[in-house]
Amino acid sequence: MVQSCMDAGRGMAARTTRSEGRMRVLTTIGEMADARQRWQERGGIGFVPTMGYLHAGHLSLAQRAHAESATTVASIFVNPAQFGPGEDLARYPRDLPRDLAQLESAGVEAVFVPTAEEMYPAGFSTYVVPEGTLAARLEAAARPGHFRGVATVVAKLFAIVRPTDAYFGQKDAQQVAVLRRTIADLNLPVRLRVLPTVREADGLAMSSRNAYLDRQQRTAAAVLFRALQAGRAAFDARAAGVPDAVCRAMAETVAGEPLATLEYADICDPDTFEPLEMLRAPALLALAARVGPARLIDNVLLRADGTWDLGTTAG
Ligand code: AMP
């Protein structure tokens, strides 16, 4: 029987006026407002929002922002609003000193590290709530309220930092699609820049949550990328000609790894996240799986021109 996709799921030169010096760490919105004026006088601000516990994926964003912007600003904020009850907010990995050293090496001039009280003071009651299919399927279905938290914090960070360009990873494809809509719908004056997923040598997408994995689980986690490659091969072969064959190829690959449990394997439009009814470009192959204590997501993108974005390998 053919299962539906959801069922199967069970360098540019930097400006020369940049001042090289010690990176600044700012913790309040008032400090950011004071510093911002000088940055704006120098030219564009490139912004890299993160939740910290940085890896080469985050640093690829910071390095690109640094190469392209007069001033590069990063933020480190584990945003409580995007975690659901029972999720990993309390145990989310943190290492601020190491993060700051890495950002400074990447050329970041300032890091915004607010407290939850600074971002959500008493009386806070206004949220950005994405709607429609994009905010209902896949990650949105698995994590109710997640994109409301993401869109709200990113809109706030944009208002605080006022970046010309904001850099995000393709790793979080649905987040990118939600933010693209948020920026368009609210006429936010910022360019969204999306960079490829950075992978470990065995294909595992870098993620702060990989820190939850023990050795065996870490080895097993490489099945996510293998599954995406199987999906890609099924797509390219067009054997059955329908999206279900692609989803099945991904689901069967994950099923072959006893330490992994598939949540979904899907093929959808990369902008709207509507499921594909026929194989065509552009297309996003996306999956989520649990490996031990970690819930991991990954994707590969078939661009509109028919070429694949599988990500890059670190190192
Ligand atoms: P996070 O700290 O997980 O919220 O991620 C901060 C930013 O880094 C987001 O735009 C992510 O999409 C991006 N990111 C996370 N992992 C990767 C990766 N492996 N490759 C590229 N970008 C990534």
240 CA → ligand 1 middle, Å: 34
Ligand 1 and 58: CB distance under 6 A: yes
pLDDT at 167: 99
Q: Which amino acid is at 109?
A: E
pTM: 0.93
Q: What is the mean pLDDT of residues 307-314?
A: 96
60 CA → ligand 1 middle, Å: 9
Ligand 1 and 44: CB distance under 6 A: no
Ligand 1 and 205: CB distance under 6 A: yes
- Cα separation of 283 and 301, whole Å? 6
Q: What are phi and psi of 223, to 5 degrees?
A: -65, -25
pLDDT band at 112 (very low <50, low <70, confident <90, very high): very high
pLDDT digits (tens, 9 = 90+) for 37-94: 999 999 999 999 999 999 999 999 999 999 999 999 999 999 999 999 999 999 999 9
Distances (CA, A) of 217 to 44, 49, 249, 302: 42, 28, 22, 29
pLDDT band at 9 (very low <50, low <70, confident <90, very high): very low
- Cα separation of 119 and 90, whole Å? 18
172 CA → ligand 1 middle, Å: 7
Distances (CA, A) of 51 to 35, 83, 128, 246: 22, 12, 19, 33
Percentage above 70 pLDDT, the chain: 92
Distances (CA, A) of 281 to 98, 229, 236, 243, 311: 41, 16, 11, 12, 17
pLDDT digits (tens, 9 = 90+) for 212-241: 999 999 999 999 999 999 999 999 998 556
Ligand 1 and 51: CB distance under 6 A: yes
Q: From atom 12 of ligand 1, which residue's Cα is the shortest distance away? A: 169
Percentage above 90 pLDDT, the chain: 91
Q: From atom 18 of ligand 1, which residue's Cα is the shortest distance away? A: 57
User: Is residue 263's pLDDT more than 70?
Assistant: yes
Closest-lying ligand 1 atom to the alpha carbon of residue 168 = 10
Paired sense of beta strands 308-309 and 24-26, if any:
unpaired
pLDDT at 240: 56
pLDDT digits (tens, 9 = 90+) for 268-294: 999 999 999 999 999 999 999 999 999
- Strand, helix or coil at 135? helix
Find the Cα–Cα–Cα–Cα dihedral 60, 64, 70, 71, rounded to 10°: -20
| Greater pLDDT, 10 or 181 | 181
Q: Which residues pair with 193 in a beta bridge?
A: 167
As annotated, the active-site residues are 58
Q: From atom 6 of ligand 1, which residue's Cα is the shortest distance away? A: 50
pLDDT at 30: 98
User: Is residue 17's pLDDT more than 90?
Assistant: no
pLDDT digits (tens, 9 = 90+) for 175-208: 999 999 999 999 999 999 999 999 999 999 999 9
Q: Which residues pair with 288 in a beta bridge?
A: 264, 297
pLDDT at 16: 37
